[in-house]
Structure 1
């Protein structure tokens, strides 16, 4: 991960207290992780880094837009994202990142790289189902949507509403009211 050197934070030279780091994330950032689901990325990361005597506290906040393709129509659109994440860095005998909220680094370390944390936070801030806003409000005109409408089964809703109730249920309901 040498190309992401700008995400290294050398905490040994920092004074105790709070420090602020800003990062502007673009599509090139995701190319290092070989992640190509995004068409374009414009995300700002604010990192509040607090150095204490025995540990480090990091608070990440991301906000911005990611251009992705809709799951339904495959039309590109800008998805607004927001997210935040807290990470505690402790010092121990060996590196351990098994817990998602606590990172343990060896006592001799002098820097940490936050690129992986930023990458995961942006990915997890994305909605699970990516729907173009034009589909939700009905303003998107697309060949894919027309074809989906044409091929969708007709009359399922009407059939369910007009379907008669099984007469056996009516007989059972009488048992409740005959008491």
Structure 2
């Protein structure tokens, strides 16, 4: 993965205290990660960069929308996202990013790249099941929804002794009865 210059922060020249950074993220950002799950994206990432004497504190806040396809109907829709992430950057003997909330960089480093953290912040804000809001409230009219309704299992039939059975299992039950 190529590190993009606009996401590299040279903190050595910054004064101690709070600094603000703002990033506008679209699909060209995700192309660098070879991530193509979004039809389009418009996400704003605000980052507060607090430089202290022995460490750096980074507070990420992402808000915006990504256009994705519904998992049920495959209809595209704009999904609003909102996510936050806090990262502490400390200095040590060698690079270590094993802890997700703590990054250790060597003492001689003078810059930190935040593109991976922005990528994860946005991707992890997406729910695992993406359902069109029109499906949830019943306003979406789609051929796929009509077909799903048509193919859904019908009500169970009643047998003589008032047991409810599914007609698909009757043939299998006959196989068991024939063996005896």
Decide whether the 8 Å contact of 2:2 with 2:32 is kept in 1: no
CA distance in 2, matches of 1:110, 1:2: 19
Decide whether the 8 Å contact of 2:42 with 2:66 is kept in 1: yes
Report how many residues are paired. 161
> For each residue in 1:39-94, what CA deviation from the matched residue of structure 2 results, as whole angstroms up to 9, or x when unmatched?
00000000000000000000000000000000000000000000000000000011
CA distance in 2, matches of 1:101, 1:93: 18
Classify the secondary structure of the residue corresponding to 1:148: helix
| 1:92 corresponds to 2:92 | yes
Residue 155 (structure 1) shift:
1.6
Moved over 3 A (4+): none
CA distance in 2, matches of 1:48, 1:3: 21
Task: Please tell me the root mean square deviation across aligned C-alpha atoms, in Å.
Answer: 1.6
Identify if the C-alpha distance between structure 1 residues 20 and 154 changes in structure 2 by more than 3 Å, giving closer, same or farther: same
Aligned position for 1:136: 136
> For each residue in 1:3-61, what CA deviation from the matched residue of structure 2 results, as whole angstroms up to 9, or x when unmatched?
61100000000000000000000000000000000000000000000000000000000
Alignment of 1:13-162 (within 5 A): 13-155=13-155
CA distance in 2, matches of 1:35, 1:137: 30
Q: TM-score, normalised by structure 1?
A: 0.86
Gaps of 5+ in 1: 165-179
Gaps of 5+ in 2: 165-180
Q: TM-score, normalised by structure 2?
A: 0.86
CA distance in 1, matches of 2:4, 2:132: 32
